[in-house]
Amino acid sequence: MMTRLFGLLLFGLLASGCASKPSSYVVLMESPDGSTGAITVSTAQGTTLVNQKQQGVMLDGKAAQTAVPVEPQRIAADFTPALNAQPALPVSYLLYFKSGGAVLTDESKLALQEVLKTIISRGPSAVSVIGHTDTESGAAWNEKIGQKRAETIAKLLRDNGVQVLELVVTSHGERNLLVKTPDDTAEPKNRRVEVLVR
Amino acid sequence: MLFNKKTSPRALAGLFLVACVAHAEPGDKPIGYVMKVSGEAFVVTDGVARPASVGMPLQVGSSLRTGPAGTLGVTFEDSTLMSFGPNSELKVDEYLYEPAKGDLKLNANISRGTLNYISGVIAKLKPEAVEVHTPTGTIGVRGTHFLVKVEEAGR
């Protein structure tokens, strides 16, 4: 508790410095998925690892290198406009296919409607469509099937009014299995198209 | 930009990325797009500042700039998100996203203002490949969300 108080006090002092204006600093935040990652901050004074949320390091070129807590009010005062300008988080969807071709399963046909609705509501997006297969049949053939599946979905996106800034269509064939299997194995979860919307 | 579906996007991406590293020119494959904008905001590519609009492409070497009441949000090819408050400027010095070949790099420089940063695939696959520089320090990104404020010297 004392260290925490001291940290806050220290940060306040450092932040005010000689001038009354808040200075330069970096602060770690909770990630969108609820986890907290880490950053390293290197200055002339050395390198500091920050791995606790709402901990920061001064970047004024003078202060000692320690991670200290940053008050939420301070974060809000400095970063609200930047946070409000954050684009929608990228999302990805998986659609599954019947064996041997580019026909969606009945479940995925239904899911597709939701996917389309969500993508359209995001507005202009960069979209990647990646086709995959299971390990039945040969690798070269599966590259083609993967491509055919991806192109089927890409066409559906275009035909349904998705505003694409770019639409990149690729096939991974049987090279990128969701469920690892031996060769020549039918696996419904591997017969899929991944739609990544940014 | 819409790719012809008959071309091989992978091969194209590789070619364009090589070109991007050598010299960024309009027409190269975009490394990201403006996704959100309000007030005065600009994308500066090859010394030409264009008012930012949703869907505007970014290139290696592009600078992102906001005015006194401007904000700007951009999304990169690897799903890295950056958004800026007023009076901000950041230059994308290096950007490479070719996961199949392991060619990954994101090197940006914020000279003033406020940045909200959410890392993408590059930081996940190769954390040491991501660096955000400020006038007095360098932030290494180990896959995460951070905020940075840069007060200009002498202000």
ipTM: 0.83
Q: Which of B101, B109, B93, B108 is nearest to B126 (CA)?
A: B101
What DSSP element (H or E) covers A1? none
Output the six-digit token pair for A35: 């986890």
A63 or B86: which leads in pLDDT: B86
Report the residue of B15, B28, B35 to disrupt the A interface, i.e. the one with the largest count of A CBs within 10 Å.
B35
Domain boundary among A62, A84, A106: A84
Q: Give the pLDDT score at A198.
A: 95
Q: Which domain holds residue A172?
A: 91-197
What DSSP element (H or E) covers A179? none
Q: How far is A99 from chain B (nearest CA, A)?
A: 23
Q: Residue A23: pLDDT band by 50, 70, 90 thresholds?
A: confident
Domain boundary among A60, A84, A108: A84
Q: Give the pLDDT score at B154.
A: 53
Output the six-digit token pair for A57: 């390091």
Q: Let me know whether A115 and A78 are in one domain.
A: no
CB of A166 within 8 Å of any CB in chain B? yes
Q: Give the pLDDT score at A148.
A: 98
Q: Let me know whether A64 and A100 are in one domain.
A: no
pLDDT along chain B (155 residues), means of 10: 44 42 56 98 95 97 98 97 98 95 96 97 95 96 92 68
Across the interface, of A27, A41, A198, the residue whose CB is closest to B75 is: A198
Q: Give the pLDDT score at B123.
A: 95
CB of B53 within 8 Å of any CB in chain A? no
Q: What is the DSSP letter of B28?
A: B
Which residues does chain A have within 8 Å of residue B122's beta carbon, measured at their own beta carbons?
none
> What is the C-alpha to C-alpha distance for residues A30 and A36, in angstroms, rounded to an integer?
5
Q: Give the pLDDT score at B21.
A: 39
- B149 SS3 class: strand
CATH number of the domain bearing residue A128: 3.30.1330.60
CB of A65 within 8 Å of any CB in chain B? no
Q: Residue A65: pLDDT band by 50, 70, 90 thresholds?
A: confident
CB of B38 within 8 Å of any CB in chain A? yes
Query: How confident is the model over A164-183, as a mean pLDDT?
Result: 95
> What is the C-alpha to C-alpha distance for residues A16 and A13, in angstroms, rounded to an integer?
5
| Mean of the per-residue pLDDT values of chain A | 89
> What is the C-alpha to C-alpha distance for residues A149 and B10, in angstroms, rounded to an integer?
17
Q: Give the pLDDT score at A42.
A: 94
Rg (CA), chain A: 25
Closest residue on chain B to A28 (Cα): B146
| A196: pLDDT strictly greater than 70 | yes
Domain boundary among A30, A62, A84: A84
Q: Give the pLDDT score at B56.
A: 97
> What is the C-alpha to C-alpha distance for residues B71 and A86, in angstroms, rounded to an integer?
9
Q: Give the pLDDT score at A152.
A: 97
Q: Give the pLDDT score at B3.
A: 41
What DSSP element (H or E) covers B82? strand B81-84
Q: In total, how many domains does chain A have?
A: 2
